[in-house]
Amino acid sequence: MGFGDVGWSSRLATVVLLLATAQALAAPPDEGLIARITGLEPEVKAGVVKVSVPRTALTVTVDGVRMDPFQGLTSWAAFQASGEAIIVMGDLALAEDEVDPAMTAALANGLAVTALHNHFAFDHPRILFMHIDGTGTTERLATAIRKTLDAVQQVRRTPSPAESFGGPAIPDTSTIEPKPLEAILGRTGQAKNGMVKFVFERKTTMHGAEMGATMGVSTWAVFAGSPESAVVDGDFAMLETEVQGVLKALRAAGIHIVALHSHMLHEQPRILFLHYWGKGPEEGLARALKKAMATQRK
C-alpha cells in the first residue's frame, strides 16, 4: 500500500465518522406530530416548532387595564433538536387554581418545572407563570405538553378561578406545641405565640464569603393553627439537582408550591428557593416536609 492509499483510507474513515455522527443527531421536531398530539397549530421558525395557547378563557386586568393575550397572557411550548434528542421549553400562564394540577401533570409526564413566579402586579385574578423544560422524543414531549394543558383545561371548566386552596379552617389563635413536631423533624423548634419554626441550614459561597442560615440560605418551616387544623409555610433551599425531587415529594403530599426562583446571583453552588403552603393535621404536614428533605443531598 502506498502513501496515497493511506491518505485515502484516512479521508474515507473521516467521511464515515461524519456520516455516523449526522445519523446520530436528532431529526428536527416533527411539526405534524406535534400538531396532532397537542391539537394546536404550530409556528415553525429556524428549526424551532412552537405551539401557543392564548388565555382567552380568563378575563384578566392589570392595574385596572384589561389584558389581551398578546400582552404576555399566553402559554407556550417550543421544541428544538439538540444532539441526539429533542428539547422542549415553555412558559404556562396560570390562574392560581391551575398551578397545582398543571405542575402535577408536568412532573408526572417527565417534564421539569424550573420556575414559578409572577410577571405582573395588581393583576386580577392573580396570574402565575410556570416555566418547564424536558428532553426526549418529539412524541413523548408533545404528549407531556398536551397532558399538562389538558389539566389546565379541566380546571377551567369552572370559569371563575377559585378564591382559596380550600381545606380545613385554621383557628385564629395558634396552639402548636414544639415536641411532637421536633420528634418528627429531628430538630429543636423555636416557639412563639403558639407557633413553631424550624430552620435547616444550607451552605453556599458568594462574593468570596460562605453564606449560611443567618444570611438566608436555609430551608425553614413555620407551623401555626392547632394540631388538628394546622397551616405550614416556608422555604426550601435546594441545589439545582434537588429541585425536581423536592417538587414531586411535596406535590405527592398535597403541599402547594407558590413560588420557585433564585434569591442570589453568582453563588457557588447555585441555590434555588421554593416557597410552599400546606394545610392539615400538623403531624402529616411535618412528615411531608421530612420526606421532601430526604430527597436532598446530605
φ/ψ of 261, rounded to 5, equals: -165, 180
Among the listed residues 203, 241, 237, 239, the one whose alpha carbon sits nearest the alpha carbon of residue 221: 237
DSSP code per residue over 230-277 = EEEEEEEEEEGGGHHHHHHHHHHTTPEEEEEEES-SS-BS-EEEEEEE
- pLDDT for the residue numbered 65: 98
DSSP code per residue over 40-86 = S--EEETTEEEEEEE-TT---EETTEEPPGGGT-EEEEEEEEETTEE
Which of 105, 124, 155 is the C-terminal boundary of a domain? Answer: 155
The span from the CA of 165 to the CA of 12, in Å, is: 65
Residue 182 and residue 104 share a domain: no
Task: Tell whether 168 is covered by a domain.
Answer: no
**Domain that includes residue 111, residue range:** 31-155
Average pLDDT over residues 154-172: 95
More confident position, 85 or 18: 85
Residue 77 and residue 190 share a domain: no
Q: To which residue does cell 418529539 refer?
A: 138
Q: How far is CA 86 from CA 27, 115, 167, in A?
A: 8, 21, 40
Which of 103, 122, 155 is the C-terminal boundary of a domain? Answer: 155
Q: How confident is the model at residue 162 (pLDDT cuts 50, 70, 90)?
A: very high
pLDDT above 50 for 21: no
Task: Tell whether 22 is covered by a domain.
Answer: no
Residue 187 and residue 102 share a domain: no
For the CA atoms of 30, 32, 34, 36, the dihedral, rounded to the nearest 10 degrees, stands at -150
- Answer yes or no: are the C-beta atoms of 255 and 274 closer than 8 Å: no
Residue 130 and residue 210 share a domain: no
pLDDT above 90 for 76: yes
The structural domain count of the chain equals: 2
Residue 189 and residue 130 share a domain: no
Which of 122, 155, 188 is the C-terminal boundary of a domain? Answer: 155
Task: Tell whether 25 is covered by a domain.
Answer: no
Task: Tell whether 173 is covered by a domain.
Answer: no
- pLDDT for the residue numbered 37: 98
Residue 46 and residue 139 share a domain: yes
User: Which residues sit opposite 225 in a β-bridge?
Assistant: 230
How confident is the model over 171-214, as pLDDT tens digits? 999 999 999 999 999 999 999 999 999 999 999 999 999 999 99
Task: Tell whether 280 is covered by a domain.
Answer: yes
- pLDDT for the residue numbered 1: 44
Average pLDDT over residues 114-136: 98
- pLDDT for the residue numbered 25: 58
Residue 207 and residue 112 share a domain: no
- Answer yes or no: are the C-beta atoms of 251 and 267 closer than 8 Å: no
Residue 110 and residue 220 share a domain: no
The span from the CA of 278 to the CA of 288, in Å, is: 10
Domain containing 89 — which CATH number? 3.30.1460
Task: Tell whether 60 is covered by a domain.
Answer: yes
Residue 210 and residue 151 share a domain: no
- pLDDT for the residue numbered 155: 97
Average pLDDT over residues 40-47: 96
Average pLDDT over residues 160-166: 95
Residue 122 and residue 194 share a domain: no
User: Which residues sit opposite 82 in a β-bridge?
Assistant: 85
Residue 283 and residue 205 share a domain: yes
- pLDDT for the residue numbered 111: 98
The span from the CA of 180 to the CA of 284, in Å, is: 11
* Summary mean pLDDT of the chain: 93
Domain containing 259 — which CATH number? 3.30.70
- Answer yes or no: are the C-beta atoms of 279 and 288 closer than 8 Å: no
Interhelix angle 243-252/96-108, rounded to 10 degrees, is 110
Nearest-5° Cα angle at 256, 250 to 258: 115
pLDDT above 90 for 94: yes
Task: Tell whether 13 is covered by a domain.
Answer: no
